[in-house]
Amino acid sequence: MLERPPVCWKGLQLNDSNLLGAGSFIDGSFSRSRSSDVDLIVTNPANGGIVRRVVDISDHDVKRAATSAETAFQLWRLSSLKNRSAFLRRWHTLVMENREDLAHLITLENGKPLSEARVEVDYAASFIDWNVLAATQGRGSLAVQHEEDLYASTTHQPIGVCLVITPWNFPAAMIVRKVAPALAAGCAVVAKPSDLTPLTALALAELASRAGAPRGLFNVLATTRAGPVSDLVLQQRCIRMLSFTGSTRVGKLLAAKAGQRLLKTSLELGGHAPFIVYDDADVEAAVDGLMKNKFRVAGQTCIAANRVFVQRGPIYHDFCTQLTERMASLVMGNGLENGAQIGPLISEAAVERVTAHVDDAVARGATLVLGGTSKTKSSSSSELEASDDTDEGEEKASLFFPPTLLLGVTDDMLLAKEETFGPVVGVLMFTEEREVIRRANDNTEGGLASYVYTSDAGRALRASKDLSFGMVGVNETNVSNCATPFGGMKESGLGREGGVHSLEAFTEVKYALMRF
């Protein structure tokens, strides 16, 4: 790929934007130490242009980050709840003051439309806001025991220094959903964001520092060496917890390593969400819910519907007709362009995976209604093409994948068995209730989000009881917010994030029995 001059984002109000190009954020500042010539090159997936070059972290700096976090933790764990909540309030204010610039940065490194990036910043900030309140409320109890003069106290103590590893699809929200409750609980953090989108995390750490975070409380490691760097952090004695969001494959690898030290582990992993439309559903609402759920980040979200089950009968035709109309109107383009609704996929590997799913479905007999790959397109009537209104045409187009609709998908197709992570909707038909619940549960080891559209409360209750998924949206797809438990069953993870669940994750219960 040809290198291009760095793109300057528009006036990120971080005074010296060059700082973000220096390197990792360690011990309260950007590290400029360089142990090799390697740079982490952050590119814009919309056009391949270089956004920033960041110095790849050295092993020496990895150890420095852990040491600095441990020092910060020993002070922060003793800080008053008032202090912690005041810091979080200031951090929240700075994030919101820099909303536009953070959103711009997210779009540059991730490719999602700017409107979506703004929503992500708001969503991320809501976790700081929620934890402002949480941090003011110490939790615990003191109880008189069965014997006179005997008292039992339970308190929730911060677990220590946490290694936080996050993916690229929500460069701000995935970091903040972990870091805000960790700091509220009294922990310190060493964060390793995805090498594809480290800049937003670096900016958030800089803002936390400006908000008064003590040196070392929130470190960010920028590196292309995800495996070795994470291994090195996990070996540092001060690390007490691993909080990971990403693929099930990497989650299993890391859990095994964390297990060697019996570290507390929280895992938010891949999904393969079923979206069930019963024959009594409000079709318009179901199509609307699917559109809102499926096309965020060009379909690259863990809670995106990946198998759309529609009941046999008139509703099948109505649903598919309305869905085709809505999908055909989606606008694909560079996220910085007005009106763009679908940005590029994150990488060539992502395009290859999505292509394989679509080609496999077509080869096995699915009907391509919209979109498709170069191989399948010849039989398609799609009018959606990659936008090529820049001089970078060929490279830019390479990561764009058009919204694609396939009907007649069956359980044996890749699309129905694995997380696709792209703007592809596969519609499957079902006949009756028990059948669809069985198929939704059995065709995957994933168990993150699921959705049900019906006007029958009994059906909704049965589905939410019987679906083996950590989250069930009934006539609603926006299941994630700062106060509710987010997480999956089976191979979609361990633990929950959001609300009190995050705070609990970053604490340990201490019990003391006292005789006076």
- Where in the sequence numbering do the catalytic residues fall? 268, 302
Using the rule CB under 6 A, which residue among 20, 102, 269, 277 binds ligand NAD? 269
Site string for ligand NAD, 373-412 (x = CB under 6 A): ----------------------------------------
195 counts as binding ligand NAD under rule CB under 6 A: yes
Q: How far is the CB of 249 from ligand NAD (least distance, A)?
A: 6
Long-range contacts of 284-291 (CB under 8 A, 24+ apart): 284/322, 285/453, 285/475, 286/319, 286/453, 287/319, 287/322, 287/323, 287/326, 288/326, 289/451, 289/453, 289/473, 289/475, 289/476, 289/477, 290/323, 290/425, 290/477, 291/323, 291/326, 291/327
Task: HSE, CB side, 13 Å, CA atoms: give it for residue 239.
Answer: 28
Helix (H) or strand (E) segment spanning residue 366 = none
Q: How far is the CB of 428 from ligand NAD (least distance, A)?
A: 20
C-beta nearest to ligand NAD: residue: 246
Could you tell me which stretch among 41-49, 266-274, 371-379, 506-514 binds ligand NAD (CB under 6 A)?
A: 266-274
- What whole-number distance in Å separates Cα of residue 315 and Cα of residue 287? 11
Using the rule CB under 6 A, which residue among 126, 230, 306, 376 binds ligand NAD? 230
- What whole-number distance in Å separates Cα of residue 451 and Cα of residue 434? 15
CB 420 within 8 A of CB 401: no
Q: How far is the CB of 230 from ligand NAD (least distance, A)?
A: 4
Give the nearer residue to ligand NAD in terms of CB position, either 103 or 221. 221
Using the rule CB under 6 A, which residue among 250, 323, 342, 463 binds ligand NAD? 250
Using the rule CB under 6 A, which residue among 245, 376, 404, 454 binds ligand NAD? 245
Using the rule CB under 6 A, which residue among 271, 335, 422, 473 binds ligand NAD? 271
Site string for ligand NAD, 162-191 (x = CB under 6 A): ---xxxxx----x-----------------
Q: How far is the CB of 43 from ligand NAD (least distance, A)?
A: 15
Could you tell me which stretch among 63-71, 240-248, 375-383, 390-398 binds ligand NAD (CB under 6 A)?
A: 240-248
427 counts as binding ligand NAD under rule CB under 6 A: no
Encoding tokens for residue 134? Answer: 């949480």
DSSP 19-63: GGGT--EETTEE----SSS-EEEEE-TTT--EEEEEEPPPHHHHH
Residues whose CB is less than 8 angstroms from the CB of residue 186 and which lie 6 or more positions away in sequence, other chains included = 73, 76, 77, 79, 84, 157, 158, 507
Residue among 349, 406, 392, 400 nearest 374 (CA): 400
Cα radius of gyration (the chain): 24
31 counts as binding ligand NAD under rule CB under 6 A: no
Site string for ligand NAD, 298-317 (x = CB under 6 A): ----x---------------
Q: How far is the CB of 292 from ligand NAD (least distance, A)?
A: 17
CB 248 within 8 A of CB 466: no
259 counts as binding ligand NAD under rule CB under 6 A: no
Contact residues toward ligand NAD (CB under 6 A) are 165-169, 174, 192-195, 226-227, 230, 245-247, 250, 253-254, 268-271, 302, 419, 448, 488, 493
